[in-house]
Chains A and B, each alone.
Chain A
Amino acid sequence: MANVKYEHVTKRWGNVVGISDLSIDIEDKEFIVYVGPSGCGKSTALRLLAGLESITEGKIYIGDRMVNDVKPKDRDIAMVFQSYALYPHMKVYENMAFGLRQRKTTEAEIDQRVREAADILGIEKLLDRKPGQLSGGQRQRVAIGRAIVREPNVFLMDEPLSNLDAKLRVQARAEISKLHQRLETTFIYVTHDQVEAMTMGTRILVLKDGIKQQIDSPQNLYEYPDNLFVAGFIGSPAMNFIDAKLVERDGKVAVDCQDFALEVPEDKAQVYRQHLGKEVIFGIRPEDTHDADYFPTGITKSLVEARVDVTELLGREVVVHLASEHIQFQGIFDPRTEARAGNTIDVAFNMDSMHVFDKQTELAIR
């Protein structure tokens, strides 16, 4: 049980920067997800914490202890690797017991802990097998089991689900969340999959090029992205970005998107009025882009005309690729929609969920 703190942590290999000036506070018992595209430094951030890489600048604390110079084995952490890293020549039981043996735990306690962990993960029957005889999902459980028996203060997981097939991944996601609730330990989880991040994390750290973009709860990341990158990274399909200008029209603030101008709702107008005339990027999520005939009640809608390029029926919803003269964007429509490729239809934007970003700094204006 421990909180974790990164203090101005930088990692460089020669001239290559892995992490630059990362400062975060992770509370005890949190489930933090590091997310970002590949090469963003999320794994490096985790490996720095694990002690598998040395820190160039800054400090990392686990609990109250500064661990920069503490060996990995003494940091009281356990890590689950992407490839599981099971010892192929040892049986499952031995795999799980191995770390404890190194720590001179008594045989009785080893046995008790291994069986307990196996029970939690439902792998009691696999204890006598070797990793080569297990399926991907089973190996992944063993890898987690190996971490559990250590009873660490912090669990580190480096993309533990990326080698599983889609169905198993959904199942394992829920299981890891349950495990977190059960063990009441700090979890740090690295993934490139924003769905995993959104569903599992109590808070999410978004990284890009080794630089912290935003750290917040999934809900806040989704609703209040700090910048263009976070807005585009979180959510699928990605948010629509349209080059625009903040203008005043008939005494009201509007977003001029070249092909159409959209009126900003009253409650937001106050903020944007200070930025009139500014070049901005207008952001609206596909799920806030509706067919004008089927839109939810209670939203501040703004109607525009658009041509339908492609429709993708997903059953529960239809992803519609739309275009007006200069812009292209996507909408997620109610499946009853009559939009067909080639038609021109009315589209309703939910302006309550609009985002505006400064075109220069790419930061959100709000």
Chain B
Amino acid sequence: MITDRIKMILSGLPTHVVLIGLCLIWLIPTIGLFVTSLRPFQDINESGWWTVFAPRETAGQDVYEKYLAPYYGPDGKAVEGVDLFDPELIGEFRRSIELTVFLREQVEEGKVQLEELPDTQEMTELLAYLRRVSGVEDAASRPRFTLDNYIDALMGYRGRDSYVEDCAAGEQALDLNCNITDIMNPRGMGRAFVNSLLVAIPCVILPILFAAFAGYAFSWLHFPGRMLLFALLVGLQIVPLQMTLIPVSRVYAQLGLNGTFLGIWLFHTGFGLPYAIYLMRNFIGSLPREIFESAYLDGMSHWTVFYKLALPLSVPALASLAIFQFLWIWNDLLVALVFLGGQKPVLTYQIGNMVSSLGAGWHLLTAAAFISMALPMIVFFALQRFFVRGMLAGAVKG
């Protein structure tokens, strides 16, 4: 009895190990990103997310002892005229590069014989240490976790500290009002989130609705040229979207649709339709013919059959189609960039704008990434049973 149990557990072990391994491969970067997005940006710059619970008082001390302690002494006062623990001196160094310049000058002036300067990362840690011990910065009072990154990203804050601090100090930027209206700041993720929703929702509903109509018509209505039209539609799937950007853009320019939501709705609907129709036709066509015949005998019109039978019965196909279409629209940058651009920035566009070309501000990126991930993840987990079923949609009967 017990040996059977053990055998069973052991025989399932390899599978479980592989599964747990796969989960970890997915989870670790995600958790890392999530933890990072919740840390103050100073911490993010100084140490990795896995040190989030490590004691901060001694961080950087090892670097100091390795490079500087032999010359400046444990109290930083060994070299004449220089007090490394002086808050006034250290207060001048806001970035590690400034500390590097200072130390290099020290070497050139012959005050110390530093053969090798700390590397960039070590320099960052070193500066943090010096700022802390000199009392420039009160590290102990800085929380380990903060929502500042999220707030900054949502509000579109681009300053050196944080939105909350700046607003508290009354020195907000020109485009910020320090009240709830900031969430609609065109430079922020909040506005971009709303824009993305405004793009995604109609772009999901419209093609699926049309595709359901078309799928029903192609399966159950008999009209001349039905197969030809269907073949043509299926063939349209191979048209690369990029090929049509210029012609569509020119037409939009004449119609005044560039930079409008209507324009992008039409574009995504058009490009979503061929595949959606193909899938819906296959799904609705595979529903048992007799059910429909029975409905006609029951006196239902095509319209009634469509919304009372075909629609409810194709929920699995509709759901999977909706998920795939939603994810594609949500993550689309190209179409949004071309037809909306900066006028109505969507999430993908705004994330790109978050980081400066020099790579600064990437603490905002972590929060922005999570903001843009949130909805797809909710959609995925809420509809995952359709997701799995939907992958088979059209292939076998649902």
**Which A residues are within 8 Å of any B CB, using their own CB?**
50-52, 72-73, 77-79, 81-89, 98-99, 102-103, 146
Size of the B side of the interface (Cβ < 8 Å), in residues, is: 15
B: residues with CB less than 8 A from A are 288, 290-291, 293-300, 304, 309, 312-313
| Bound: A73/B288 CA distance, A | 19
Contacts of B290 in A (CB 8 A): 81-85
- Which of B291, B294, B312 has its CB near the most chain A CB atoms (within 10 A)? B294
CB nearest neighbor in A for B315 = A89
Q: State how many angstroms separate the Cβ of B202 from the closest Cβ of chain A.
A: 27
Q: How distant is the Cα of A78 from the Cα of B298 in the complex, in angstroms?
A: 8
Q: Please name the 10 residue pairs, one residue from A and one from B, whose CB atoms are nearest each other, closest first.
A: A73-B299, A99-B298, A85-B290, A85-B294, A102-B299, A81-B290, A85-B291, A89-B312, A72-B297, A83-B290
A80 closest partner in B (C-beta): B294
- Known A72-B297, A102-B299; 14 more pairs at CB < 8 Å: A50-B293, A73-B296, A73-B298, A79-B293, A81-B293, A81-B294, A83-B288, A83-B290, A85-B290, A87-B295, A87-B309, A99-B299, A102-B300, A103-B299
A248 shortest CB reach to chain B, Å? 58
For the complex, what is the distance from the CA of A214 to the CA of B296, rounded to whole Å?
A: 32
- The distance from the CB of A141 to the nearest CB of chain B, in whole angstroms, is 16
Q: Which residues of A contact B297 (CB under 8 A)?
A: 50-52, 72-73, 77-79, 99
Among B288, B290, B297, B304: residue with most chain A CB under 10 A: B297
Give A152's nearest chain B residue, CB to CB.
Answer: B297
- Our pick among B288, B299, B312 for the contact of A85 (Cβ within 8 Å) is B288
Q: Which residue of B lies closest to A150 (CB)?
A: B298
- With a cutoff of 8 Å between Cβ atoms, the chain A residues found around residue B291 in the complex are 85-88
> How far is it, in angstroms, between the C-alpha of A72 and the C-alpha of B295 when the chains are bound?
10
Contacts of A79 in B (CB 8 A): 293-294, 297
* Contact A52 B296, CB 8 Å, known A81-B290, A83-B288, A85-B288: yes
Residues of A within 8 A of B299 (CB): 73, 99, 102-103
CB nearest to B291 among chain A residues: A85
The docked-state distance in angstroms from the alpha carbon of A77 to that of B293 is: 13
When chains A and B are docked, how far (Å) is the Cα of A253 from the Cα of B291?
59
Per the bound structure, the CA–CA distance linking A279 and B293 in Å amounts to 49
Distance in angstroms between the alpha carbons of A78 and B295 in the assembled complex: 11
**Complex Cα spacing A81 to B312, Å:** 21
Can you list 30 residue pairs at the A/B interface with Cβ under 8 Å?
Answer: A50-B293, A50-B297, A52-B293, A52-B297, A72-B296, A72-B297, A73-B296, A73-B298, A73-B299, A77-B297, A78-B297, A79-B293, A79-B297, A81-B290, A82-B290, A84-B290, A85-B288, A85-B293, A85-B294, A86-B291, A87-B291, A87-B309, A88-B291, A89-B313, A98-B298, A102-B298, A102-B299, A102-B300, A102-B304, A146-B294
Least distance between A63 CB and chain B CB atoms (Å): 18
Within the complex, the shortest CB–CB distance from A148 to chain B, in Å, comes to 13
Tell me the smallest distance from the CB of A215 to a CB of chain B, in Å. 25
In the bound complex, what is the Cα–Cα distance between A102 and B300 (angstroms)? 7
Closest Cβ–Cβ distance, residue A12 to chain B (whole Å) = 16
Residues on the A chain within 8 Å of B295, using CB:
87
B273 to chain A, nearest CB (A): 26
| Minimal Cβ-Cβ distance residue in B for A82 | B290
Which residues of A are found within 8 Å of B312, using beta-carbon distances? 89
- Give complex CA distance A78, B300 in Å: 14
Which residues of A sit under 8 angstroms from B313, Cβ to Cβ?
88-89
Chain A residue numbers with a CB within 8 Å of B288 are 83, 85
A85 to B293, CA, bound (A): 8
CA–CA, A52 to B290, complex, Å?
10
CA distance A103 to B304 in the complex (A): 13
Give Cα A146–Cα B313 distance, bound, in whole angstroms. Answer: 20
A140 → chain B closest CB, angstroms: 13
Chain B residues with CB under 8 A of A99: 297-299
B residues within 8 A CB of A146?
Answer: 294
Please indicate the chain B residues that have their CB under 8 angstroms from the CB of A82 in the complex: 290
Expressed in whole angstroms, the Cα–Cα distance for A270 and B66 within the complex equals 130
Rounded to whole Å, the gap between the CB of B341 and the closest CB of chain A is 45
Question: What is the bound-complex CA distance between A72 and B294, given in angstroms?
Answer: 10
- B212 CB to closest chain A CB, in angstroms? 16
Chain B residues near A87 (CB-CB < 8 A): 291, 295, 309
For residue B300, which residues in chain A have a CB less than 8 angstroms away from its CB?
A: 73, 102
Nearest chain A CB to B244 CB, angstrom units: 39
Nearest residue, chain B, Cβ from A78? B297
